[in-house]
Structure 1
Amino acid sequence: MVNKSTTIPAMVAVIALTAFSTGCAHRSSGSQQTHPAAAEFAAGLRDKVTADAMMAHLSKLQDIANANNGTRAVGTPGYEASVDYVVNVLRGSGFDVQTPEFSARVFHAEKPVLTVGGKSVEAHALDFSLGTGPDGVSGPLVSAPPNNLGCAASDYASLPLRGAVVLVDRGTCPFAQKEDAAAQGGAVAMIIADNVDEQQMGGTLGPATEVKIPVLSVTKSVGVQLRGQPGPTTIKLTASAQSFRARNVIAQTKTGSATGVVMAGAHLDSVPDGPGINDNGSGVAAVLETAVRLGNSPPVHNALRFGFWGAEELGLIGSRNYVESLDLTALKNLALYLNFDMLASPNPGYFTYDGDQSLPADARGQPVVPEGSAGIERTLVAYLKSAGKTAQDTAFDGRSDYDGFTLAGIPSGGLFSGAEGKMSADQAKLWGGTADQPFDPNYHQKTDTLDHIDRTALGINGGGVAYAIGLYAQDLGGHNGVPAMADRVRHVLVKS
């Protein structure tokens, strides 16, 4: 799962549309089959997708990371080996597999040097920050008021910003928007203070953003200290960005309607700092094992398409590229999209994406949530209830690969076991976890390994992946259904 406040990057699509992207599934000539009742089919598929099988996939992904400097990040041999593994498993199950390429950029930075009032301060460079020369950039530290998040140039109108290093709190808008507003006001650099307690605040300005000033992050506690002790500030940062090409993985069943395609996806890449076994090997394992158990020609009413995305951790690049490659007909042929990102957190929550927009307004923001998403949420909530878990909402906050699909008007939903946020006391009572601890303390760390997978959560959520895919494979209608073809509203995303 990508960090909060990520700017979704624009990029140049390099994919030629394939038969999968246009929805031209091949209905087998002998596909005049009797389709099992949807719930019965879904339950049978759920029972076939076992924790043992998913753990076996995770073990392979861990082995790949171990053999490649502890990472499966895009732009590394570990990612390429991960792609090859998924492709080989799918082809071994009879699927025709496509690996469309896309362009992306990766950021490298040395540890920044930040001094305030002559004292060294621990800081982190946001991805795609502008670097500095050897002497760095200097200026007085100017703090925006805590309720002023620096999202617009007008937010800085009362501050002596020109030539200053500005300190703002995280929240509300993308980091790149804050950077642009501060640069317009004449700031020479920006420091963003975290708004939650965590060891390090990551984030990206986006690989396509024209960044004008260096941008660092500090923890919440350091931000409080800096507000109380401003002084002359210097930032030194050596940073660079590199362009590269990467692959998604796409496979589709040969059976089922090509005008009612059910798509399920999970991002395949890790962050550079770790193997990414929960984030997002867990989602990959569940979707992959579901595809294996279905095979290439299951007795389904609707075609099933599986996507394994690259460069999610750099800003949802692979999935966004894929959606941008679809014309209006291909988008209309996609009935819905199911997203699975982090399913086995060690202190797990049981969340479903807020398809009915029942979260309070301040918690949900203003996402695009297409008609039909509420039905998907109801399906997943009911599944979790049957598994003995009471679901709670998680916002469509733009942090995972559903984002391009919802922007294009495709009903979406999914399961999530929690990331860096902390479990509340009420949630601990509800789910049996540990209160005031992160759902996943290994999020984006080198410790996101096989040893820290919660096997119970993997089994429950992996079963939910299979159940939802199986249900919609047979029936798109009813109370939990999505709009019929004639009622689908789609939007072609502009390639940038």
Structure 2
Amino acid sequence: MGVHRKREDSSIASSLPRNRGVVSGTLCRGHHSRRPDCHSPMKEQYMIQRRKFGITVGATLATGALIAVGFAGPAYAGGGKGHGHGGDKSASAQLRKAVTAKGITKHLQALQNIADANDGNRAAGTSGHAASVDYFEKQLKKAGYVTSRQAFSYDKSVVDTAVLDLVAPTTETFTYGVDFVEASNASEGDVTGLIEAVDINLTGDRASTSGCEAEDFANFTENNIALVQRGTCDFRVKADNALAAGAVGVIIFNQGNASETEDRSALFAGALGETIFSLPVATTTFALGETLATTEGAEVRLAFDAHIETVNTFNLLADTKKGDPNKLLVVGGHLDSVPEGPGINDNGSGTASILETAIQMSKKHIVPKNKIRFAFWSGEEDGLLGSNHYVAQLTPEQIAQHAANLNFDMTGSPNAVRFVYDGDGDAFGTEGPEGSDAIEAVFNDYFASQNLATEPTAFDGRSDYFAFIENGIPAGGLFSGAEGIKSEAQAEIFGGTAGEAYDPCYHAECDDINNINQEVLGQMADAIAHATAVYADAKVIKGHGKGWGKGHHGKGHYGKGYGKGHGHDKFGYKGYDKGR
């Protein structure tokens, strides 16, 4: 993950592709680098959730989650206060039992073999990605799904040569992929100019609005190179303001702050949008930006030579034959890797878990009441392009048929945390469309029933759910961490090593078959299977009552319901009562 993807923003430890035309990472991928939230500091405190409601797994399946997105599972649901309709939880239990880390690892080994045979990666537009799709499609067809490939193409800037040199008052040559990278869709060019820092903040919390307003450049000297700090607004906004002020080039340095899930001091890759910008633009580490800002009379040469490549690729979609097509659930993750490695955790882990869930649903004869589309996106590592394409080609009527999206981007990180997307915005202030909060509750309640802690991760559009939430489709999902650094508190709760990345091999050659935490992979897969079974078995009902409702059908039929008032929208629901 973007997140993202991924999923954490785009700080990158060491290896960066020369053709990186986008933001990498699970938290700040592709188009999300243009979102203001992609550049805002995270909250200082995370809510580490250990919810123990003392009820059965079937009951924790958050009826309210289902109602809120237009679903209510007859096997699990309560109709509100005093009207429980709970029941058999066998679909979830059977599917969780069938979906195992061992079964998922067979698919991961297949992806590793494919990467080994195709220049070590499975990047979009390559033979490695095509072979990955072939393998997944074969498995899905064998399981009885209706498969299709959704072709699309895009242009990608590939850097041939890159220069960032300090030429005065002393000389120093900086290294591409270590000290700096080209921002995606920046222009070719070779410019030399004095560094002029624009409204930067190098102290305290380093909160920054640098370059976000034209007024920031009021005293800017034409023909200088603008040095701006990451934070608050889109990179393109900063670059456009610099261009309007007469800058000949732009350097955007990392913000210099840190949170529980990301380190905004390291190198990151930034995206300037979908159109080519007219100046050369580099992104750098905080340390390099600080050095340039504090060096009196600093003059640099910034040069990029690049060419454009057209990437032809496709998404893979697999539909259940049964289920209401007007209540379509999309369960997805990206199947492409970065060019640097096989991408076994990012995102073989998520997609292999989805694949195994689909296979075992078929083997266990779990017939959904709502149609499920298992989606394996391409072009995620180049800017969430596959999922964006999928949603962009939908008509308004088709969008209305999409009830929810579950997204799984990295679920086997070696130094993992069980992150759940913050759908209600309680932790980070960015909530998804109505119903996203309830999807979050499905995952949190399930993990709580297993005595497993979870932690929210920012739900700000940095993985493939972005296009869905931008179009009002509720979404949610899981993430086990990318380049962010595990805190002492997290290590105490989740195990692992404090002070190290959740995935030290993120976007690197070593993201291979040995880069998987089998225990966490299995735990996350159980939650994936569980949520899929819940939403598969759902039906439309009208929300009524308030808060929690207790079932009254005896043992094994304990139901719960969320809701407030009488919902009469399309899904028969108007809200979600978070009071418990």
- Normalised by the shorter chain, which TM-score bucket? 0.7 to 0.9
Give the equivalent residue in structure 1 for 2:128: 78
1:111 Cα offset (Å): 4.9
What CA distance in whole angstroms lies between the structure 2 residues aligned with 1:455 and 1:107? 37
Partner amino acid, structure 2, of 1:155: D
1:422 Cα offset (Å): 1.2
1:103 Cα offset (Å): 2.0
Give the equivalent residue in structure 2 for 1:57: 107
Q: In the alignment, is residue 301 of structure 1 matched against residue 369 of structure 2? A: yes
1:299 Cα offset (Å): 2.4
What CA distance in whole angstroms lies between the structure 1 residues aligned with 2:28 and 2:232? 8
Residues 176 and 446 from structure 1, CA distance in 2 versus in 1: closer, same or farther, beyond 3 angstroms? Answer: farther
Q: In the alignment, is residue 126 of structure 1 matched against residue 183 of structure 2? A: yes
What's the CA shift string for 1:280-336, capped at 9, x where partnerless? 111101111111111296322211111110101111111011111111222222211
Matches within 5 A, 1:271-420: 271-295=338-362, 298-359=366-427, 363-364=428-429, 366=430, 369-420=432-483
Partner amino acid, structure 2, of 1:178: K
Q: In the alignment, is residue 141 of structure 1 matched against residue 195 of structure 2? A: yes
Tell me the SS of whatever aligns to 2:476: strand
Q: In the alignment, is residue 222 of structure 1 matched against residue 276 of structure 2? A: no
What CA distance in whole angstroms lies between the structure 2 residues aligned with 1:175 and 1:6? 13
For the 8 Å contact 1:7–1:174, the answer to whether it is kept is no
Give the equivalent residue in structure 2 for 1:437: 500
Residues 351 and 81 from structure 1, CA distance in 2 versus in 1: closer, same or farther, beyond 3 angstroms? Answer: same
1:487 Cα offset (Å): 4.0
What CA distance in whole angstroms lies between the structure 1 residues aligned with 2:147 and 2:374? 10
For the 8 Å contact 2:220–2:245, the answer to whether it is kept is no
What CA distance in whole angstroms lies between the structure 2 residues aligned with 1:245 and 1:139? 38
Tell me the SS of whatever aligns to 1:320: helix
Give the equivalent residue in structure 2 for 1:96: 146
Partner amino acid, structure 1, of 2:130: E
* TM-score of the two chains, using structure 2 as the length reference: 0.74
1:198 Cα offset (Å): 5.9
**Higher RCO structure (Cα 8 Å, ≥6 apart):** 2
What's the CA shift string for 1:446-482, capped at 9, x where partnerless? 2211111111111111111111000111125664699
1:199 Cα offset (Å): 5.2
Q: In the alignment, is residue 210 of structure 1 matched against residue 276 of structure 2? A: yes
Tell me the SS of whatever aligns to 2:152: strand
Which of 223, 240, 254 is residue 194 of structure 1 equivalent to? 254
Q: In the alignment, is residue 8 of structure 1 matched against residue 27 of structure 2? A: no
Structure 1, unaligned stretches of length 5 or more? 10-33, 490-496
Tell me the SS of whatever aligns to 1:305: strand
Tell me the SS of whatever aligns to 2:489: helix
1:127 Cα offset (Å): 2.6
Partner amino acid, structure 1, of 2:347: N
Partner amino acid, structure 2, of 1:175: F
**For structure 1, which segment, 294-303 or 74-83, has the greater mean C-alpha deviation from structure 2 after superposition?**
294-303
1:349 Cα offset (Å): 0.7
For the 8 Å contact 1:332–1:485, the answer to whether it is kept is no
Coordinate RMSD, CA, aligned: 2.4
Partner amino acid, structure 2, of 1:110: D
For the 8 Å contact 1:266–1:401, the answer to whether it is kept is yes
Residues 279 and 5 from structure 1, CA distance in 2 versus in 1: closer, same or farther, beyond 3 angstroms? Answer: closer
Give the equivalent residue in structure 1 for 2:304: 237
Give the equivalent residue in structure 2 for 1:462: 525
What CA distance in whole angstroms lies between the structure 2 residues aligned with 1:218 and 1:385? 41
Partner amino acid, structure 1, of 2:433: P
1:270 Cα offset (Å): 0.9
What's the CA shift string for 1:10-60, capped at 9, x where partnerless? xxxxxxxxxxxxxxxxxxxxxxxx989563311211111100011111111
Tell me the SS of whatever aligns to 2:289: helix
For the 8 Å contact 2:30–2:384, the answer to whether it is kept is no
Tell me the SS of whatever aligns to 2:226: strand
Partner amino acid, structure 1, of 2:193: G
